[in-house]
Structure 1
Amino acid sequence: MFGLVVLIAASVVALWWGATRGLEGKELVTARLDALKVGLSLGVGGGGLFALYLTWRRQRAVEATLAHQLQVAADTKAHQERVAADAREDATARRITELYTKAVEQLGSDKAPVRLGGVYALERLAQDNPSQRQTIVNVLCSYLGMPYQPPAVGPLTPEASMDEQLDQRERVQERRVRLTAQRVLTTHLARSADDRFWPGLDLDLTGAYLIDFALRNCEVGAVSFEQATFTGKTWFDDTTFTGGAAFGLASFHDDVSFRRATFNGSGIDARITFEGTVFNGATYFADATFTAKNDYILFMAANFNHFAEFTGATFDGTAVFSHATFTSGANFIEATFTELADFGHTRFSETVAFLDTTFQGLVNFPETPESTSSKFMLEGVRTSDSTARWPPGWTAVADEDEAGILRLVRSDMQETSTAATD
């Protein structure tokens, strides 16, 4: 402000003296009046500019204050929202913990209806809280892995004591609880378009007692059914196992079907193992795919006590059937083995068919006296392994239509063909 006054005064003085120099009389008075008017005009204009400047400063201060207030309000609101969200999360976590604890307590009840309620409570909790699904599946698997004595077959005799009747009733009720727990697993692991599907879960049913187990059209991660007992018919048709699959020392008391099942064998333990597994009923692996790159597909020492069907199966990995026992017929028709196929020391009691089977890797068959050519149907077998050990009575000859490929023929037929040529 002071600078503006000085500037105006200097302008008036300059005009008053400089612009009127040499003038006299009336002209001098007129010139000095004009200089005064100019000075006054500059004063008025400068005051207006200064007023505008003050207004701008005041507006800017108001806007800065308002922006600060808005920022403070926004920060306060964000903090309050974070606190509220944390409170909601804590409340949800506490609620989940309470529901989970109560459901597990129900599952441990000595009353079957209470245990059944615990299974349903866990199912609802898992459905509503995806982060809890693996934990709840683990609990249900652990329950199915607990010791279980099935009810007696048929009605009790009239002479049965009250204790025997109560025990039978408890076993029947426990069977229902177990079937419900199985249903929860098989229902939510089945691929479907709705939100009932629980993807990406592992199953650990080691030592479990399973009844009419039906894991059809499902998708699971790594699974363990080692030492499990399967009663009634069992189905794994069209199911995909995305991790390792362990069925070692499991026992299937009735028919079991793995038709079109896919074993991907990925993860840390990519093995697919049925080592020492007992199949007492008919076994179906038709069109199944076993993929275990750089690992094993193990049927070592498995016992097939009924017909075994592997028609159209693909073994993409080292397939080991050594020391396995087939007490009935078996089919490997049109199967494909991409790596080593080891049937060394495998015992075939009945006819086994490998018609049109393809062996892309090394092959090892038993050379025991009982492994006569009549037990093996190897017509149409294709292989590139010229060093393969085949059952007695079979010879690999060059394929006439495909270079580098050998096909199997009976040795007696080869001798007959050679004699006819001679």
Structure 2
Amino acid sequence: MIVLWWPATAGLTGADLVKARLDALKIGLSIGVGSGGVVALYLAWRRQHSTEADLDNRERALAHQQDVAAATQAHQERVADDARADAVERRITELYTKAVEQLGSDKAPVRLGGLYALERLAQGNETQRQTIVNVFCAYLRMPYDLPDEQDHEEGASAEQFEIYRARAQEREVRLTAQRLLSEHLKPNRGPVYWGDLDLDLTGAQLINFNFNDVRMRTGNFYEATFAGDTWFERTTFSDYVVFSSSTFAGYARFGKAAFIGDAIFLGATFTDDTAFHQATFASEAWFEHVTFLDDAWFGDVTFTGEARFGSARFTGEAWFIGATFAGEALFDEATRGGDSRPFHPSSVSSNSTDSGQPG
């Protein structure tokens, strides 16, 4: 204001001096007020900027706290999930171990309880099904002798009767294991079906084995003994199956069975009527060195791949009426009848069969 005062009033006197000084005072006051407004605006801006920065810092701090809380919660949930999974795994392991221990009991009812415990475990835990099927198969692979009826007849000793009783009880356990496998390998059973699984029954002693309508992935029945009659009707083998060197003591039925992979019967022995009528072999069928001690039906069978019957022996009648050989049919050194006559499907007379199917 002083800067404006003196230059503006220099050389003036009287009324002009008073007027000039009043004008200078007004201008100075206006400049002062304006400067104060600028300062006030600046200070207000600073306060606003500081407030906004503080809010921004608070928001970032809150967001960080929320991120930390979310990460902590996610970690806690993962820990809880892992703990639950570990608890489930421990429970499964405990149930599995106890059931397997029951299978090792010397008491048949306890062994039966072990089978049913494993069945329940497999039904409720899909990832355990192949393992439990493996246990069933391993049990059936263990050595076993069928009960001898002479040990149960009048005059048998107490020791013989005890042997008969133990073997008869074990037979019931084995029949149960077979039935449980069959029930859970049938696609038409809906939620009870356990899926396309592998079976290894190498060398097993199987009794009145009924696997009708079953579906399995691979099946290994190498050197298995089928005591009594055997049924594989309408069974699907979605991969290879091996019956090499197996023995079928009763009649065997494979009607309408579907062999998707290779079907290997090398050296198998069929002691009674055998029927493969309307079965389909989508890959190779190996019947080399197979012995059919009674009648064999292959009527309306479809062989898509090679059909190998080299050195096969047909002791009874052999029906191939209506059979289709899309691939090569090999019957080198195959024989029929007791006189070992050379055999080939084309050599079977039409009057030896009516339908190519078992009666």
With the length of structure 1 as denominator, give the TM-score of the two structures.
0.74
| 1:40-80 Cα deviation digits (max 9, x unpaired) | 22222222222211111111111111111112222222222
Q: How do 1:240-279 and structure 2 match up within 5 A?
A: 240-265=236-261, 271-279=262-270
* The one of 340, 344, 349 aligned to 2:328: 340
Flag the 1:52–1:372 CA change in 2: closer, same or farther, 3 A: closer
> Quick check: 1:288 aligned with 2:276?
no
What is the SS of the residue equivalent to 1:195? Answer: helix
| 1:144-179 Cα deviation digits (max 9, x unpaired) | 111212123488333122222222211111111001
- Residue 199 of structure 1: aligned partner: 195
Flag the 1:371–1:99 CA change in 2: closer, same or farther, 3 A: closer
> Quick check: 1:74 aligned with 2:51?
no
* The one of 56, 60, 77 aligned to 1:60: 56
CA distance in 1, matches of 2:346, 2:307: 24
What is the SS of the residue equivalent to 2:187? Answer: coil
Flag the 1:374–1:240 CA change in 2: closer, same or farther, 3 A: closer
| 1:203, distance to aligned residue in structure 2 (A) | 0.3
> Quick check: 1:302 aligned with 2:290?
yes
What is the SS of the residue equivalent to 1:230? Answer: strand
CA distance in 1, matches of 2:156, 2:341: 55
- Residue 139 of structure 1: aligned partner: 135
CA distance in 2, matches of 1:372, 1:235: 27
> Quick check: 1:114 aligned with 2:105?
no
| 1:94, distance to aligned residue in structure 2 (A) | 2.1
- Residue 386 of structure 1: aligned partner: none
> Quick check: 1:324 aligned with 2:309?
no
Amino acid at match of 1:317: G
| 1:372-396 Cα deviation digits (max 9, x unpaired) | 99952379xxxxxxxxxxxxxxxxx
* The one of 377, 381, 384 aligned to 2:349: 377
Amino acid at match of 1:143: Y
Say if 2:8 and 2:21, in contact at 8 Å, map to a contact too.
Answer: no
What is the SS of the residue equivalent to 1:210? Answer: strand
| 1:370, distance to aligned residue in structure 2 (A) | 5.8
| 1:120, distance to aligned residue in structure 2 (A) | 0.9
What is the SS of the residue equivalent to 1:238? Answer: coil
Amino acid at match of 2:273: A
> Quick check: 1:123 aligned with 2:95?
no
Amino acid at match of 2:120: R
CA distance in 1, matches of 2:345, 2:119: 55
Amino acid at match of 2:173: V
* The one of 29, 47, 61 aligned to 1:33: 29
- Residue 86 of structure 1: aligned partner: 82
What is the SS of the residue equivalent to 1:170? Answer: helix
Q: Which runs of 4+ in 1 moved over 6 A?
A: 20-23
CA distance in 1, matches of 2:292, 2:32: 124
- Residue 355 of structure 2: aligned partner: none
> Quick check: 1:184 aligned with 2:156?
no
* The one of 164, 169, 191 aligned to 2:165: 169
More strand by share: 1
Say if 2:278 and 2:300, in contact at 8 Å, map to a contact too.
Answer: yes
| 1:113, distance to aligned residue in structure 2 (A) | 1.0
Say if 2:151 and 2:160, in contact at 8 Å, map to a contact too.
Answer: no
More helix by share: 2
CA distance in 1, matches of 2:233, 2:209: 11
What is the SS of the residue equivalent to 2:277? Answer: coil
Q: Which consecutive residues of structure 1, in runs of 5 or more, have no partner in the other structure?
A: 1-11, 266-270, 351-367, 380-422
Amino acid at match of 2:287: F
* The one of 230, 238, 253 aligned to 1:234: 230
Amino acid at match of 1:282: D
Flag the 1:100–1:373 CA change in 2: closer, same or farther, 3 A: closer
Amino acid at match of 2:66: L
| 1:93, distance to aligned residue in structure 2 (A) | 2.1
| 1:334, distance to aligned residue in structure 2 (A) | 2.3
| 1:141, distance to aligned residue in structure 2 (A) | 0.7
CA distance in 1, matches of 2:335, 2:199: 32
Identity of aligned residues (%): 43
CA distance in 1, matches of 2:289, 2:311: 5
CA distance in 1, matches of 2:188, 2:333: 43
CA distance in 2, matches of 1:337, 1:318: 8
> Quick check: 1:224 aligned with 2:220?
yes
- Residue 313 of structure 1: aligned partner: 301
Q: Determine which structure has greater relative contact order: mean sequence separation of CA pairs < 8 Å that are 6+ residues apart, divided by chain length.
A: 2
| 1:272, distance to aligned residue in structure 2 (A) | 1.8
With the length of structure 2 as denominator, give the TM-score of the two structures.
0.86
CA distance in 1, matches of 2:101, 2:275: 40
Amino acid at match of 1:277: A
Flag the 1:178–1:239 CA change in 2: closer, same or farther, 3 A: same
Indicate the RMSD between aligned Cα atoms, in angstroms: 2.7
Flag the 1:286–1:192 CA change in 2: closer, same or farther, 3 A: same
CA distance in 2, matches of 1:135, 1:220: 15
- Residue 95 of structure 1: aligned partner: 91
